[in-house]
A and B are shown apart, each in its own frame.
Chain A
Amino acid sequence: MAHRWTNDLTRDDVTPEHLWLNRRQIIAAGGALGLGSIAAPALAETLEPNTWEEITSYNNYYEFGTGKDDPARNAGALVTSPWSITVDGLVDKPGEYSLADLTSGLSVEERIYRFRCVEAWSMVVPWNGIELADILDRVGVQSGARYVAFETVVQPENMVGVQRRVLDFPYVEGLRLDEARHPLTILATGIYGRPIANQNGAPIRLVVPWKYGFKSIKSIVRISLTADEPPTSWNKANAREYGFYSNVNPNVDHPRWSQATERRIGGGLFSSRQDTLMFNGYEEDVGALYAGMDLGANY
């Protein structure tokens, strides 16, 4: 099916990286000449995708270390080919699928999404991905299924953070089935039209743009359909701080820091914070999923 959702980020933003770089230079020059208001419409300015360099050098992927630059340094060791994904639980066609079998023939779309980390920083990423709903349709979801659980690969010999037991690995995540089937939810295999970098979750990762980044689990090796809410890694590590839903919400603070504002990566040392948007700016799209729910209690 695919194409259930269209980007609200402008057409201009779907620009090859090299052209985009030129555009930013043009905007900068316009600003210097006092022509900023003509050259740079506000929309383009706020929703500029981050550069490949930024997206691939500032990551949380604790299997490769806890520093933001550790994944870029260490994730080269990840073996991503061959890659297989176990699909099990309440599905019609369970089994071990190769990446190609699971995804071939499905439409890969470019989706430029805001990406908001629970640590109060954010990026804009031009993903290439497949709607998760398409993949769920391929494997056939049975009527009793209410949740989707995901698991990240564990390659202990290639992952320094796994040896140090920073978290209880394998990393696991989950979504309610209606969240998983939402057209915004994709499994991404690329960024800027290139294969996704290891530190960003190669070869295939979840992207749920209205939730904090840790929900968007990387390097997926298992997808399970379940009747009950599956365990999730950060919730297991610290239930008071990380709930199952973890929707981006400026009004519900993390116990250790405020979620009202965020810092967009790439602004440099003197950039200021910007306000965080409800559901990371996707309230119109996903608000209905949570109608009547107490978002303070279900954080």
Chain B
Amino acid sequence: MDLAGIINGYLRRVPAWPLYMVAALWGGWLFWLAATGQLGVEPINRLEREYGELGLKFLVLSLTVTPLRKWTGVNLIRFRRAIGLICFFYIVAHFGVWTLLDVRSLDRVWADILKRPYVTVGMSAFALLIPLAITSNNLSVRRLGAQTWRKLHRLAYPTAILAVIHYLWLVKGFQIAPFVYLAIVLGLLAARIRWNRRLAAA
């Protein structure tokens, strides 16, 4: 058996639910650190950023599942739902810290969503995640039909692009990290375009 087959064999025995537990514990741990002064002297912004970056990481991870299978044969598809939902929960936390701890005023939340381009873009990304999260269950797949469901979940692609634009737009000066995410996301999306072309040609 090849290496990918061996890995897949092991993975089949691993359930997905511990992922949710680990993600929830990690999120809670960060909150506890922030609340007890162990995340630096400005914990609100720091926690906001930690959750935002975690959300982005899981979003990117969710987009690597398919290329990983095509390139290496390693199949993480059983975990993709968990990865996507964890992304969503971290972004809910990200949004929650921003509204409830940082801005703390409905007026200003609205004003910022409408007025600040990087918040508008972040909010759009978040809005696109909502239908994806709501339909991340077997019932929805059955109701929508696999075709429609798959089409709907291609919303993850524009979401990832918006999320990266959000990041690019909010940093000051020239910083590497958002460009690294941009390169990874564009690479992962470009790979899909190539496959689709090949599929269409075949």
A residues sitting closer than 8 Å to B (CB atoms) are 53-54, 57-58, 62, 66, 68-69, 119, 121, 164-167, 237, 253, 255-258, 263, 265-266, 268-273
Name the contact of B117 in the complex, choosing from A62, A256, A258 (C-beta under 8 A): A256
Instruction: Evaluate contact between A269 and B104: CB separation under 8 angstroms.
Output: no
Chain B: minimal CB distance from A61 (Å): 12
Across the interface, do A266 and B41 meet the contact criterion of CB distance under 8 Å?
yes
Is the CB–CB distance between A166 and B173 below 8 Å? yes
Q: How far is the CB of A275 from chain B (nearest CB, A)?
A: 12
Instruction: Let me know if A257 and B172 touch, CB within 8 A.
Output: no
| Residue in chain A with minimal CB distance to B32 | A269
Contact size class for B?
20 to 34
Whole-angstrom CA separation of A119 from B172 in the bound complex: 10
Chain A nearest CB from B112 CB (Å) reads 7
* CB within 8 Å for A258 and B47 given contacts A66-B171, A269-B35, A269-B101: no
Which partner residue on chain A sits nearest B116 by CB separation?
A: A256
B40 with A69: CB separation less than 8 A: yes
CB atoms of A269 and B43 under 8 A apart? yes
- B104 to A273, Cβ gap below 8 A? yes
**Chain A contact residues, majority secondary structure:** loop
A159 to B82 alpha-carbon distance, docked (Å): 41
From B47, B117, B171, A269 is in contact (CB under 8 Å) with B47
A57–B173 touching, CB < 8 Å? no
Chain B's interface: helix, strand, loop or mixed, by majority?
Answer: helix
Per-position 1/0 for B142-180, Cβ under 8 A of A: 000000000000000000000000000111111110000
Given contacts A166-B175, A263-B42, contact A270 B101 (CB under 8 A): yes
Interface contact A268-B111, CB-CB below 8 Å:
no
11 further interface pairs, Cβ-Cβ under 8 Å (given A69-B40, A270-B101): A57-B40, A58-B42, A62-B173, A66-B172, A121-B45, A253-B115, A256-B116, A263-B44, A265-B41, A265-B42, A268-B37
Contacts of A255 in B (CB 8 A): 116-117
User: Which A residues lie within 8 Å of B40 (CB)?
Assistant: 57-58, 68-69
* Smallest beta-carbon distance A228→chain B, Å: 25
Contacts of B43 in A (CB 8 A): 268-269
> In the complex the two chains form, what is the Cα distance from A237 to B169 in whole Å?
14
Q: Judging by beta carbons under 8 Å apart, are B175 and A58 in contact?
A: no
Instruction: List chain B residues, Cβ under 8 A from A58.
Output: 40-42
Residues on the A chain within 8 Å of B118, using CB:
256
Expressed in whole angstroms, the minimum distance between the Cβ of A200 and any Cβ of chain B is: 14
Q: Which residues of A contact B175 (CB under 8 A)?
A: 66, 166
Whether A167 contacts B173 in the complex (CB less than 8 A), given A57-B40, A69-B40, A263-B44, comes out as yes
The verdict on B57 contacting chain A, using a C-beta distance below 8 Å, is no
Which residues from chain B contact A263 at a C-beta distance below 8 Å?
42, 44-45, 102
Residues of B within 8 A of A256 (CB): 116-118, 169-170
Give chain B residues whose Cβ lies under 8 Å from the Cβ of A265.
41-42
What's the least CB distance linking B104 to chain A, in Å?
6
CA–CA, A265 and B111, complex, Å: 24
In the complex the two chains form, is B41's CB within 8 Å of A165's CB?
A: no
CA distance A156 to B70 in the complex (A): 44
Contacts of B172 in A (CB 8 A): 66, 119
Q: Once the chains bind, are B176 and A269 in contact (CB under 8 Å)?
A: no
A273 cross-chain contacts in B, Cβ below 8 A: 103-104
Sort A-B residue pairs by CB-CB distance and give the 6 closest, nearest first. Answer: A166-B173, A54-B41, A269-B43, A269-B35, A269-B34, A58-B41
- Judge if B108 is at the interface, Cβ distance under 8 Å: yes
In Å, the complex CA distance between A229 and B9 comes to 69
Measured in the bound complex, the distance between the Cα atoms of B98 and A273 in whole Å is 12
Kindly state the separation between the CA atoms of A237 and B172 in the bound complex, as whole angstroms.
9
User: In whole angstroms, what is the CA distance A266 to B41 when docked?
Assistant: 6
Give 14 A-B contacts (CB < 8 Å), ordered by A residue. A53-B41, A121-B45, A255-B116, A255-B117, A256-B169, A257-B116, A263-B44, A263-B102, A268-B37, A268-B43, A269-B43, A269-B101, A273-B103, A273-B104
Is B116 touching A57 in the complex (CB atoms < 8 A)?
A: no
Question: Cβ of B46: which chain A residues have Cβ within 8 Å of it?
Answer: 68
User: How distant is A260 from chain B, measured CB to nearest CB, in Å?
Assistant: 8
A53 to B37, CA, bound (A): 12
Report A16 CB to chain B, min CB distance, Å.
Answer: 21
Given A167-B173, A273-B104, is A258 in contact with B111 using a C-beta cutoff of 8 Å?
yes
Using Cβ atoms and an 8 Å threshold, which residues of chain B touch A119?
Answer: 172
